[in-house]
Structure formats: structure tokens, C-alpha cells
A and B are shown apart, each in its own frame.
Chain A
């Protein structure tokens, strides 16, 4: 290559800058789109990798129902391949933050793992401080005090109040998912971190491990490392947990044994004491009885004596009276000196004395009797005290027996407990089980999915544009080629001009497109995902392989195409080349065989049609280019429809209720009525349900969904189940209705059976009675009868608010009702989903912008070629007297017709492309609607035509500038 050839090339470029730029632009677009989309996933992964490496995210998370002590943590850390292990606490609780109740998950800060990224404030320094979730809280919340709500059971927390000292994001929560819980409405709204001392627990609840071997995030290497150690770690987890179980069990058994011994001893002592006491009592009783008997004997004797004495006294008295009488007779007789008298007198003396003696004896006896009475009284007292003692003893016996029975029961309970003390349940989770992490993985795959189709289009069109352009250029340069050949230049040297021309355009375009693409696309997409994963600024990735591939593909498209066009020309001899190329003969086209159609055309139209069908390559390129462009536009607009349609489809057609109310307790009939009465002023209607998180399982697939169980038919008024336009009746006992996405994920059809596992790991089966439309979240609808056995209770209600009431005010009103934990206004959720969808809009606009750029480049280039190829023809018809407008119409009619063809081809292609892209895009909580609105079809068509017309506007000038003198030149 000599300098004049080089000059020639530079001049050629300068002279045909439009063409050069067209090649450059189409290559830049193709490469930009290709490299930009391809690099987005690596960029996103790199960003997350750096962030997670810095945070030192765990590799395994271990759980055991027994918890872990330092000993087990240490044992786990000694496992081969494990770098580090650290125990941590966590607990779900309802916290009150500034008067608002929130279900949050509290974690303990770990020293070396899962480091938080502070957004504001600082990490806790005392056990009474906490750091809050940056997604739900802001800097303004620092300094506030959060309060743990009172619960029935033991609180896992060391304090009731914690002061907020910082706001942070956690590597364990990459996206907005915060997980599920048994509390509240089942959804955790935010996390918070405390120092380990902030918890009140003897054992760690979980252990985090990191592995010694490192590998890039989401790489196959990483999966291999995980696979290698997972089973070992899992076994070790079981092992240490079992060891802990055994030691706990033997401890318990030891305790039981000593308790039993103590019991036996106590029982023996009791029995002994009881015997002694009883003996004593019976002895006392015997003594008392004896005494009574003695007393009774004494009384008898005394009474006998008294009656004897009395009888003796009577006799004596009688005898005394008789003696007195006799004496009186004697005295009367004066026989006072007689012996008889004296005898009598002595007898009287004797009798009186005996009588006196008798009286004395009597008195004595009576005194004895009184003493007996006294003895009796004492005896009664003795008896009384005996009875008392006996009673007391009996009471104490009963008491002791009761105590013993209690002890016995306790021992039995303990025994039962020990025998029921099951081996611990252990779990091992990898990063993939972390919701944020796995969502991130799948979201990056969406972009990858898109990058698989779109760039192919661009490159195909780019190749076509290059071929057409370069073929034209080589054709134009025929004479020059011939001349140069005649001058003795080798074909390769001549071809070099064209190869360098297209090659340099492609290279510049490639570099430009590569760097712009790999900068703009990841940035735009990262921005779009910002709402979901705003954890770090994007890391840009330079992929040398991708760069090399881009260069190769763009050179293939340009230089390859050029070489092909050159080949045919260079095989010809110079003489042939110097002569003008024979014009491509006019040919009848198939449309001419439809006379009634053909005859009805003016021949300006005929000539357009002939032109269109004569140049097959241009036709193909135009249709592919314009069709591709309109297909892309339609895809972009359709994506917008699918995305924005969701919100209205979901909230206007499916979940139409106004509010969801969560209750702290099961609402039975009475309580339901009370709630309804309390809010009669604002409530239009309400249905009480159970709502909770369940896992659905089929062979090989598991999916977490929200289960809604209702006992009332009218549930379908609040959540309108339908499949397309067909309403689905509420499920009956043993039946369920699932949303379409879930059904697809699990691969179930109507009539299939699903296994359902609730949060307490209880399982039951239901028959799928319907598959319903649903776009936001995933649902399983059940009849309450199906789950009645599990005693879930009606803990939630969907309500309609009366038309004239403000929804938030009504919600606030319900909040103050008894039992209400929280009230969610559906409109707020709608707003949130709407915001999320807006981020996707960004990607949509990107696609639309690229499609537009593609359309412009293709149309511009084709029009350009069309015009330069036909300069003579155009000049001729100008000479013939065509007005400028007619001249343009003559040229552009073709473009319009081709645009119409392109659009016709592009619309079905767009529908297919849209369907494909939709199948690639899966965001966990949202399933998209596969619709394109008629308006989007119209917009895509009109936009494509608008682009054609805009290009024509630019080209019009060019046509008008063609000098008519061109018609005088020879055909070239």
C-alpha cells in the first residue's frame, strides 16, 4: 500500500462520510447492544461479589432446634474446609417504633461475618442499642427508642427498649424480601441488629460458616466448593447437635434419678412418722378409756354406798324414833331409872352415834362422788384434746401424701419428658436459600435472557447494512478498480481500500459501541434495579473475551461482507470493469400476473413495486431492518403494557378489597360481630380468613406462597378469582385454587394434587380445582374447612370501606378496635408495586430508544443507497419535468411500501419476541401479563412510519440537490 492509495482511502471516507458513519453507527449499535447486555450480568455479579466479599457473607448457615453453645461453634469451626464459624442469635418480634407496630427480625451482630454497611450513625456499643434496616428507616430515626411488645412467653430479649444508634444495610438482605414469620400478618417488615448481649438466651440460635476456599459469586466454581463441603458440614452439624442432645439428656436423666431417690426417702420418712403418730394417739385413747372405766366404777361404788348408807340411816332413824318412843314411854312412866330405861338410853346413845357416823359416811361418799364428777370433766377434756391431735395428724398426713403424689407426678412427667426428648432437628442453608441472594441471581439472568435475542437482530441487520453498502461502493468504484488493475495493482491492494474503509468504520464503531454499551447498559439496568438492590454503586467489568468477540463479529459483519462483495468484481478482467456495468434488466414481478391489481396501478407505483422486488437483497434487508425495528418497538411498548397492566389487572380485577386487617387472636363468631359493630360506620363488608405462609410441594419442586383460607363463599367478592374472563368458584373442602405462575412453576394442572406444608411443618394434600390469574405475590386459596383441624383461626379479614369514607382514616379507626394488630390499605401496596414497575420502565425505554436508533440507521442507509444508485434516474425524471415533490414521492414510495412490508413482518415477530422476553423476565413476587395493547401496535406502526418519514425529510434535501446534469453523464 503506497501513500496515494492511503490518500485515496482518506478522501473516500471524507467524500462519503454519510455512508462511513452509517456503517460505523450500525456496528456501534450492534456491538453496544450486544456487549452492553452481555456485560450487565457480570457487572451486576461483580458488584454484588465485591459487596458481599467486603461484608464477608456466610457460606453456610446452620440451625439446630437445640441451639449451639460455644463448644459446638468451636467444633464446627474446626471442620475441614471451614474457615470460620460464629454463633448468632435471632428472634422475630413485634416492635413499636414511634407508635407504629412493626413485625421485625432481630439479629445479633457477628464479629467477622455478615458485616453491615452503615448508611448513617454508628454500630451499637452497648447492649441497649440497635441498628435498623435502611430500607424502612432513615437517618431521622436515629436516637429513637424502639420497644419490644409484651408477649406471653419468655422474652428472648435482654431489655424491653433499645435505642437506635444507626441505619444500615445487611448483606443477608440483598433485596426487599425480609422473610416470613408466625407473627402479625406473617411478613417481616424490617430487620434490626443488636449486640449479642442484647439477647437473653443461653444458646446461639444459628451458626454462620465461611469456607476456606473462595470463588467468584454465582460461579460454577463456587457451586463446586459448596457441593464439596455441604454434606460434611451437614453431618458435622448433626454430630455436634446430637452430642449436645446426648449430654443434655444424660444430665436430665441424672437429675431425675436423684429426684427419685429423694422422693423415696421422703416417702419412707413420712410413713414412719405416720405410724408413730398413730401409735401415740391410740395409746392416749386407751388411757382415756381406762380412766373412764375407773371413774364409772368409783361412781357406782359411791352410789351404792350412799344408797346403803341412806338405807342404814333410815333404819337407824326408825330405830332411834322407836327407842325415843320407848324412852318417852318409860320417862312418861317414870321409869327413868330402870335398866330398861338405861339400856334404852344407851341404845339411843348408840343409835345417835351410829346415825352421826352414817351421816359422816354419807357426806364422805358424796364428796367422793363430786370428785368422780371432776374426774369425768377432766376426762372429757382429755378426749377433746385427743380428737384435736388426731385431726391435726390426719391433716398433716393428707398434706404429706399430696406432696408425695405431686412429687411422684413430677417424676413421671420428667420421665415422659426425657423419653419424649427427641433428637434435635438440624438444618443447613446455603446462600441459595437466602431470598435476596437467589432473587439477585435470577434477576441478573433476566438481563442475560434478553441479551440472547436482541443483539442477534442488531448484528444481522448490521451485516446486511454493511453488505449492501459495500456492494454499492464496490459497484460505484468499478471503473476505478478496473483502472487500478490496468495500472498493475494487485487485487489485494485494490481490495484493501474497501476492506480498510469498512474495517475502519467497523473498528471505530466497535470500540465506540463497546465502551458506550458496556457503560450505559449496565448503568441503566442497575439504575432500574436500584429500588430492589441499591446496596452498592455498580462495578464496571471489562471482559477481554467479550471485547475480542465484539471485534470479531463486527469485522465479520463489515470486512467479511466487503470481501464477499469484492470477490465477484475482482474476478473480472480490467476491460470488463472499465465498461459500465450492464444495468440490471427490468423484470416482470409476480404481481403483474394479477392483472386486475396491476392494471389499477399507476406506473409510478408499478416502477416502485418493480424496484422493490428487483433488488432482493435490499428488500430482505429493509424488511428485516424495519421489521426488526418495529418488532423491537412493539416488544418495548408491549413490555410496558405487560408491566403497567399488572397493577390495574391485579388491583382492579383481582385483589379488589380495600384493606386487610390482621388480628392478634383468632376471631370467633362473637369477636367478629364485635369488630363489625365497632366499625359499622366505615365498613361496607368484610370477610374473615386465615392467611399464612405455606410451602407447596410437588415432585421436585417447592414454592412458598401465601395461603388464604376462608369459610365464606363471598371471599370471591374480595379476591376475584378468574381465569381470563371465566370466574373460578371459591374452593370447597379439600380443594384449592392457585395462581398461574405457581401452577407453572410446580407444573400442576387442574385436577392435580398438591402437598401443602404449613409453618409448623404439618402437611396435607389438596386437589387443584382452579388456576387463577394473579400477578402480584403468589396465592393458594383454600376453604377453611380444609384446614379447620389445624386450629389456625380467623386471624385476618379483607374489608370494603364505604365509598364516602377515607380509606386511611377508616384503617386508623379499625386499628383502635380490639384485637387488631395492623391494617394494610391495599391502595398503598398498589402504589408500592407501581413504583417497582416504574424501574422496569427504564429498561423498556432503553429498548425503545435502541430500536429507534436501529430504524434510523437502517432507513437512512437504505435511502442513501437507493438514492446514490439511482442518481441518473432521478436526474432524468427531473429533466422530464417532475416537480421536486413528485421526484421525492417517486423515490420514497418504495421506502413507504417497504416500511409497510417491514411492519407487516415486524408485528408478528414483535409478538413472538415479546413473549420470549416475558418468559425471560421473572421477578419473584410479580408474574407478568402477556399482553400487548392495540394502542402499542398502533404506536409501533406509527413510530416506524414516523422514522421513515423523518429519514425522508433528510433525504429530500439530498434528492433536491442532485444536479440534473447527472442525467447527461454516462451510466456508471
Chain B
């Protein structure tokens, strides 16, 4: 159970001409299936690099990343695209909805790709947007847009839900409701969720906490008593 996601000695070096920047250095941690994991770190700690690698958006330089027993670190670009398509659901800080598609269509664009999708409208009703299926993103508030993004990620029925600062662009209350939505759905559907944030307060809601600093893991621990989001203050 503990080794649903395995990071094993992952290093990432960016080369830009003569300059080499080591973004990640010997990052190792694991996440169990169905867990909510919060990866927390300051700006420039390597969070995004880690997310990119886990999300199949970037390759790593050393080490291995294993998802449900499959080593994705050796994947080709095409295989990576397939990986993103079927295994990963992504929630962006800025929602990244397609402005020209309605709410429903924004979800459908994802379900269309998936092998085993959920019904788009059902998912949207689950995230509380049953009334806004025909609206365009621009007609929604930030929180609502993020709900759509979460619905889009969930509807693919992914193995892993990756959230990049999901509350970064939202106000406090809305951010909270989004996090609680994530927590709820993770629990209900048993989806493994990895949330990346700079906000340490969020660690309270996590099953597992990974702290990173300067490109390496400083702490990886299990939270024996995760609390509901509503109870967290920051």
C-alpha cells in the first residue's frame, strides 16, 4: 500500500548552455494508494520540478519514479503522453480551462481522452456545478472555475490527482472549499491526491507530508490524524 508512488533518488539537472542548475537532488519518498499527500516547500525549492516529473511533463536526470509498479522514468515522449492521458488528473493553479468551451465541454475534453471516464455531467454535479453546465469559464468565479478543473481531472478516472497550488489564485474561503472538495472526493473515490503548495498549514489535512527545500526532501512523514479542511486555519 505504501508504494503506490515511489520517488527513488530522483535528481534533475537543467542545462542551459554552460550553466547547470540542479533543481532536484536525491529526492526519495513514497505515497500510498488513496492517500492525500501534501508536498510543501518555499518558492524555488523544486516543488514544480517534482510535479513536472511526476506529471510526466518533464524527464528526470537520475533516479526512478514508479507509479503503481511502473517505472515512468524511462518512458518515451509518446508513452509519457499516454501516461498523462490515462493515469494523471491535473489541477492547475490558474485552472487552465479552455475559454471557448462550456463547463461541460471542458470536462468532456478530458473524458474524451480517457479509457474509462466518468460521466462529465455527473462529476460536475458532484462538484456542485450541476446548474452551470452550459456556462463558459469566463462566466464563472475563480472557485467555480477551479471546481470545473477538479471535475475535469476527476472525470478521467485517474490513478493520481496532481494539484499545483490549487488555492493559489483563490481567496481564503474559496480556497478552503476547494480543498475540502479535494479531500472529500479523494476519500469518497479513493483517488490518490498529491497537492503541491507553499502553505504549510495545509499539511494538517494530509495523510502524508513531504517537505522539500533546496531541491531535496527534508522530511517525509505520515500524518496519523489528518483533520478536515474546515478545521484548518491559516
Interface set of A (CB-CB < 8 Å, partner B):
582-587, 602-604, 606-607, 610-611, 614, 872-873, 876-884, 963-965, 967-971
- Whether the pair B101, A879 counts as a contact (CB closer than 8 A) is no
Q: State the CA gap A970–B92 with chains docked (Å).
A: 10
Mark B115-151 against chain A: 1 for CB-CB distance below 8 A, else 0: 0000000000000000000001111000000000000
Tell me, yes or no, whether B85 is within 8 Å of chain A by CB.
yes
- Whether B113 and A881, one on each chain, are in contact in the complex, defined by CB atoms closer than 8 angstroms, is yes
Please tell me if the beta carbons of B84 and A880 are within 8 angstroms of each other in the complex. Answer: yes
Count chain B CB atoms within 10 A of each CB in A587, A878, A879 and give the residue with the most: A879
Q: Are A585 and B85 in contact (CB under 8 A)?
A: no
A876-B92, A880-B113, A883-B78 are known; give 12 further A-B pairs, CB within 8 A. A603-B101, A603-B108, A604-B109, A606-B105, A607-B98, A873-B96, A873-B98, A880-B85, A881-B82, A882-B81, A968-B92, A970-B93
B175 within 8 A of A: no
Known: A586-B101, A603-B101, A603-B108. A968 touches B48 (CB 8 A): yes
Complex: chain B residue closest to A875, CB-CB: B96
- The closest CB in chain B to the CB of A610 belongs to B100
Within 8 A of A (CB), among B67-115: 77-78, 81-86, 88, 90, 92-94, 96, 98-102, 105, 108-110, 112-113
Whether A881 contacts B109 by the Cβ 8 Å rule is no
Nearest residue (CB) in A for B93 is: A968
Q: How far is the CB of A897 from chain B (nearest CB, A)?
A: 14
Known A606-B101, A964-B57; judge A587-B136 contact (CB<8 A): yes
A586-B136, A965-B52 given; A603·B109 CB < 8 A: yes
Q: Is the CB of B57 within 8 A of A881?
A: no
Q: Are B113 and A607 touching (Cβ within 8 A)?
A: no
Which residues of chain A come closer than 8 Å to B96, judged between CB atoms? 872-873, 876, 879, 967
CA distance A878 to B110 in the complex (A): 11
Distance in Å: Cβ of B120 to nearest Cβ of chain A: 11
A964 touches B52 (CB 8 A): yes
* Cross-interface CB contact of B94 among A603, A607, A610, A971, cutoff 8 Å: A971
Bound CA span A881–B152, Å: 12
Q: Taking CB as reference atom, which chain B residue is nearest A614? A: B100
Q: Does B55 contact A (CB under 8 A)?
A: yes
The distance from the CB of B157 to the nearest CB of chain A, in whole angstroms, is 13
Give CA–CA (A881, B86) in the complex, Å: 8
- From B81, B94, B105, B137, name the one whose CB has the most chain A CB atoms within 10 angstroms: B81
Complex Cα distance, B164 from A326, in Å, reads 219
* Number of residues from B at the complex interface, CB < 8 A: 38
Among all A-B residue pairs, the 9 with the closest Cβ atoms: A881-B85, A586-B136, A585-B138, A964-B57, A881-B84, A610-B100, A876-B96, A603-B105, A586-B100
Q: Which of B171-189 contact A (CB under 8 A)?
A: none
Please give, as numbers and ranges, the residues of chain B lying within 8 Å of A878 by CB-CB distance: 57, 81, 84
A584 touching B164 in the complex, CB below 8 Å, given contacts A603-B109, A881-B84: no
Q: Contact between B136 and A883 (Cβ–Cβ < 8 Å)?
A: no
C-alpha spacing A731/B96, complex, angstroms: 80
B58 at the A/B interface (Cβ < 8 Å)? yes
Which residue of B55, B81, B101, B137 contacts A607 across the interface (Cβ within 8 Å)?
A: B101
Residues of B contacting A604 with CB < 8 Å? 109, 112
Query: Known interface pairs A586-B99, A873-B98, A965-B58. Does A880 touch B90 (Cβ–Cβ under 8 Å)?
Result: yes
Are B102 and A586 in contact, CB atoms less than 8 angstroms apart?
yes
How many A-B residue pairs lie within 8 Å, measured between CB atoms? 101
Interchain CB contact under 8 A, B113 and A882: yes
Cα-based distance from A603 to B108 in the complex (angstroms): 8
CB-CB < 8 A to B77: which residues of A? 884
Instruction: Collect the chain A residues with CB atoms within 8 Å of residue B139's CB.
Output: 585-586
A613 to B, closest residue via Cβ: B100
Task: State which of A582, A602, A879, A882 has its C-beta within 8 Å of the C-beta of B90.
Answer: A879
Shortest C-beta distance, B139 to chain A (Å), equals 7
B84's partner among A587, A603, A873, A879 (CB-CB below 8 A) is A879
Beta-carbon contact of A607 and B100 below 8 Å: yes
Taking a contact as CB atoms under 8 Å apart, the answer to whether A883 and B81 are in contact is: yes
Known: A880-B109, A882-B81. A585 touches B99 (CB 8 A): yes
Q: Report B7-37 CB contacts with A as 1/0, cut-off 8 Å.
A: 0000000000000000000000000000000
Contacts of B138 in A (CB 8 A): 582-586
Minimum CB–CB distance from A587 to chain B (whole Å) comes to 7
Contact residues in A for B57 (Cβ distance below 8 Å): 878-879, 963-965
Name 22 interchain pairs, CB-CB below 8 A, sorted by A: A582-B138, A583-B99, A586-B100, A603-B109, A606-B105, A607-B98, A607-B101, A610-B100, A610-B101, A611-B100, A873-B96, A873-B98, A876-B96, A879-B55, A879-B90, A881-B113, A883-B82, A964-B52, A964-B55, A964-B57, A967-B92, A971-B94
- The minimal Cβ–Cβ distance linking A615 to chain B, given in whole angstroms, is 10
| Nearest Cβ on chain B to A588's Cβ, whole angstroms | 8
CB-based nearest A residue for B57: A964
CA of A584 to CA of B88, assembled, Å: 29
Choose among A602, A877, A882, A968 the residue with the greatest number of B CB atoms under 10 Å from its CB: A968
**Distance, CA A964 to CA B54, complexed state (A):** 13
Q: How far is the CB of B119 from chain A (nearest CB, A)?
A: 15
Report B-chain residues with C-beta under 8 Å of the C-beta of A964. 52, 55, 57-58
CB distance from B106 to the nearest CB of A (A): 9
A721 to B156, CA, bound (A): 74
| Min C-beta distance of A892 to chain B, whole Å | 16
Bound Cα distance from A604 to B108, whole angstroms: 10
Residues of B within 8 A of A606 (CB): 101, 105
- Enumerate chain A residues within 8 angstroms of B112, measured Cβ to Cβ: 602-604
In the complex, how many angstroms separate the beta carbon of B88 from the nearest chain A beta carbon? Answer: 7
B164 surroundings in chain A (CB, below 8 A): 968
Question: Residue among B57, B77, B90, B98 with the most chain A CB within 10 A?
Answer: B98
> CA separation between A965 and B164, bound complex, in Å?
11
Chain A min CB distance to B194 (Å): 15
A586 to B84, alpha carbons, bound, how many Å? 27
Docked pose: A251 CA to B174 CA in angstroms: 124
A877→B152 CA distance, assembly (Å)? 12
Is A607 a contact partner of B105 (Cβ separation < 8 A)?
A: yes
Question: A residues within 8 A CB of B83?
Answer: 881
Residues of B within 8 A of A587 (CB): 136
Kindly report which residue of chain A lies nearest to residue B168, judged by CB atoms. Answer: A970
User: Which of B48, B96, B110, B137 has its CB near the most chain A CB atoms (within 10 A)?
Assistant: B96
Chain B residues, CB < 8 A from A614: 100
Question: Using Cβ atoms and an 8 Å threshold, which residues of chain B touch A880?
Answer: 84-85, 90, 109-110, 113, 152
User: B107 CB to closest chain A CB, in angstroms?
Assistant: 10
Residue among A584, A585, A614 with the highest chain B CB neighbour number at 10 A? A585
Q: A585 vs B145: C-alpha distance in the bound complex, in angstroms?
A: 13
Distance A881 CA – B90 CA, assembled complex (angstroms): 10
Among residues of A, the one whose C-beta sits closest to the C-beta of B81 is A883
Q: How far is the CB of B140 from chain A (nearest CB, A)?
A: 10
**B88 adjacent to A881 (CB under 8 Å):** yes
What are the residues of chain B within 8 A of A879 when measuring CB–CB?
55, 57, 84, 90, 92, 96
Asked if B137 and A586 sit within 8 Å, CB to CB, the answer is: yes
Q: How far is the CA of A612 from the CA of B52 in the complex (A)?
A: 32
Closest Cβ–Cβ distance, residue A889 to chain B (whole Å) = 13
**In the bound complex, how far is the Cα of B138 from the Cα of A881, in angstroms?**
24
Please, how many angstroms separate the alpha-carbon atoms of A876 and B101 in the complex?
14
